[in-house]
Chains A and B, each alone.
Chain A
Amino acid sequence: MKHFLYLNWQSARQALVKILRQPFGSLLTLLMLSIALALPLSLYLTVSSIQEWAGRLTATPQITLFMEQSAEEADLAAVSSTLTKHPRIQSYSFVGKKQALSDLEKRNGLPGLSDGLTDNPLPDAFVVTPKTLEPHELEMLQKELSGLPMVETAQFDARWAKRLYGMVEMGRQLTWFLGAALGIALVLVTHNAVRMQILARRDEIEVAKLIGAPDSFIRRPFMYHAMWQGLLAGLAAWGLTSWLVMTANPAIHEFAQLYNEAVQLRGLSPVELLVVLAISSLLAMLGARLASDHHLRQIQPR
């Protein structure tokens, strides 16, 4: 067992040395692989950054509850306590009818508007910030809130929420699609690279088979070659996306500041980086395995 590990360690080291000794031979493949990885990764980071930002957004869809004119202190307190306990509600604020009127005066530059009115026509209102972005859940929540006692209507800007949610969802699906498509591309690229290597080393493989090399022995260097290539491509893709994040962030920050928003593209977390490295090396090894299974069978020495 120890011996087996030693042999594998030897192959792994030799494969790495080979890549490092002829970096230009592997460079093209490496470049293709890292770009194939960097594309979905950047999209993933963009979408998850937008999602993060949307979560913090001050303009997250808000539901406004307008109370009946006849609502009294006790009714307001009842609604208020319901809102406090509700699991789907992030926060809420209360805008009393007096405050609403004075806001209106200020905004419209009509001081003394209230003087002309005998009664304040504006209702008391609660502005509710839900926890969810999902349009269907928002609608349910709206219905539920409008059914509270002494609540006249519950309004929210559904179109806006739907659009934001739709965009995030589309970005997420696009990420998965791109990820899957380029994952397949990664398998195909290593498949082809290993196929070329096998054909170039046909004589050697033939002789090795003649003197008793099992397929596992012949396959081993190709598998390790692919593993290193996947790993290096994963690291390179990480480098590319980090560079993208670093160069794009100042511009994004400046732009977002115009709207008083703090938006930032985030980089890969250490766990995400590990997952990316594991996936890219496994996919590369899958390509190598498929190529060697196919082509080693065709090399039958006579």
Chain B
Amino acid sequence: MQRMIQFDQVTKRYPGGNEALKNLSFTIDTGEMAFLAGHSGAGKSTLLKLVAGIERASSGSVIVSGQNLSKLRSSQIPYVRQHIGMVFQDHKLLFDRSVFDNVMLPLDIIGFDRRDAARRVRAALDKVGLLAKEKSMPIRLSGGEQQRLCIARAVVHRPSLLLADEPSANLDRAYALDIMELFKSFHQVGVTVVISAHDETLMEDYGRRIIRLKEGQFAA
């Protein structure tokens, strides 16, 4: 099995001296679906940001699909991100443009032909059940719908790695399960999926690997 993500003795210290991750080493295989568990402040978001190159490791190396992010120049990081889909904890939607245009953005960035892109955008919106709302503005969507919009934007360019930071937070259980099923379907077509959550009960049903964090280290 090839490795999608490899952490070697990774420490992340934020300015101010706060150590969010302490000497972590682990790997996630290509095509794997893994969960990241831990209370608030355990370091889940930090770990995902290191994978996406949003933050840089203070020491150790982060290798994503063969690329050592610690050694890349910052001008090369965007091209790594183009192969990653990320569902942000705070969504990061753009409220000045329609649902359709929000999902179009990643395709614009990689320079997709506009007509093919429109087809892709609709396919992604259809997948998350938002096709009927393509012309709506994100502000008119419910919390769950915004979450789905964020997922559509994360998968529209068909990334090989999908990172989701607490995608089921603030959703009722039935809705959260729907979202988990959605991620499972991406995993089934070969996408490597890493999902974080502070609530483990959702993960246990799936029988997947759970990486448990506590204060920046593996929990027993």
Interface residues of A (CB under 8 A from B): 3-4, 6-7, 10, 203-204, 206-215, 217, 301-302
Contact = CB atoms under 8 A, between A and B. Distances in A.
Contacts of B113: 3, 6
Contacts of A6: 113
Q: Which secondary structure characterizes the binding site on chain A?
A: helix
B84 interface: yes
Given A208-B109, A302-B54, A214 B78 contact: yes
A93 B88 CA distance: 91
Contact of B82 (A7, A206, A207, A212): A212
Contacts of B81: 210-212
B207 interface: no
A10 B111 CA distance: 10
A71 to B, nearest CB: 83
Nearest to B93: A207
Contact of A204 (B75, B96, B106): B96
Contacts of A207: 92-94, 105
Interface in B54-95: 54-55, 75, 78-82, 84, 86, 88, 92-94
A214 B79 contact: yes
Interface string B91-108: 011101000000001101
A301 B78 CA distance: 12
19 contacts: A10-B114, A204-B94, A204-B96, A207-B94, A207-B105, A208-B105, A210-B81, A210-B86, A211-B81, A211-B82, A212-B79, A212-B80, A212-B81, A212-B82, A212-B109, A214-B79, A217-B78, A301-B54, A302-B55
Nearest to B88: A210
Nearest to A203: B94
Contact of A212 (B55, B78, B92): B78
B110 interface: yes
B153 interface: yes
A228 to B, nearest CB: 20
Q: Which 5 A-B pairs have the closest CB atoms?
A: A212-B81, A212-B82, A214-B78, A213-B109, A212-B78
Contacts of A3: 111, 113
Nearest to A211: B106
A15 to B, nearest CB: 14
Contacts of B106: 211-212
A207 to B, nearest CB: 5
B75 A212 contact: no
Interface string B163-198: 000000000000000000000000000000000000
Interface in B102-161: 105-106, 108-111, 113-114, 153
Given A208-B105, A211-B153, A301-B54, A7 B79 contact: no
Contacts of B79: 212, 214
Contact of A211 (B75, B96, B109, B111): B109
A279 B174 CA distance: 62
A179 B59 CA distance: 53
A300 to B, nearest CB: 9
Given A210-B92, A214-B78, 15 more contacts: A6-B113, A207-B94, A209-B78, A210-B52, A211-B81, A211-B86, A212-B78, A212-B79, A212-B81, A212-B82, A212-B84, A213-B78, A213-B109, A215-B75, A302-B55
A199 to B, nearest CB: 15
